[in-house]
Amino acid sequence: MSAPIDIDQIFREDSANPPSERTLPWEETCDGITVVVEPKPHWADDMRAFRLEARAYCRYADWTANGGHVRFYGHIDTSGDEVMMRARAMIAPEIADGLWD
């Protein structure tokens, strides 16, 4: 029997992939600003980066080009912290059901 896997290990393993191949959100910090990058869905032309503690986002390409000087746009109901919490909440029951090993 293999050792049990935890949510943090799943996020670490996913972050070992290049950004364009990641399936889970991840944090990046530049110029004192932290964002949570939401992986690119199949239909989108770019990923979005949400400010960690504010309901604001920008395009990931703009974030990588301009860092903390990027222009953020208000988002009515999502912050980076909420993106990360939703992803973790989605994985927890999958681990409990034995879908990860």
**Residue 42 structural domain:** 7-95
pLDDT in tens, 58-96: 999 999 999 999 999 999 899 999 999 999 999 988 888
Share above pLDDT 70 across residues of the chain, in percent, rounded to a whole number: 96
Domain assignment present for residue 2? The answer is no
Domain assignment present for residue 83? The answer is yes
Q: What is the widest separation between alpha-carbon atoms in the chain?
A: 49
Return the bridge partners of 33, or none.
30
Domain assignment present for residue 1? The answer is no
Please state the domain count of the chain: 1
Strands (E), 1-101: 26-30, 33-38, 48-51, 56-59, 73-74
Domain assignment present for residue 23? The answer is yes
Which helix H or strand E contains 12, and what residues bound it?
A: helix 7-15
Mean pLDDT of the chain: 90
Domain assignment present for residue 20? The answer is yes
pLDDT in tens, 34-48: 999 999 877 778 899
CA-based nearest residue to 73, from 39, 50, 96, 46:
50
Q: What is the mean pLDDT of residues 2-8?
A: 78
pLDDT in tens, 48-63: 999 999 999 999 999 9
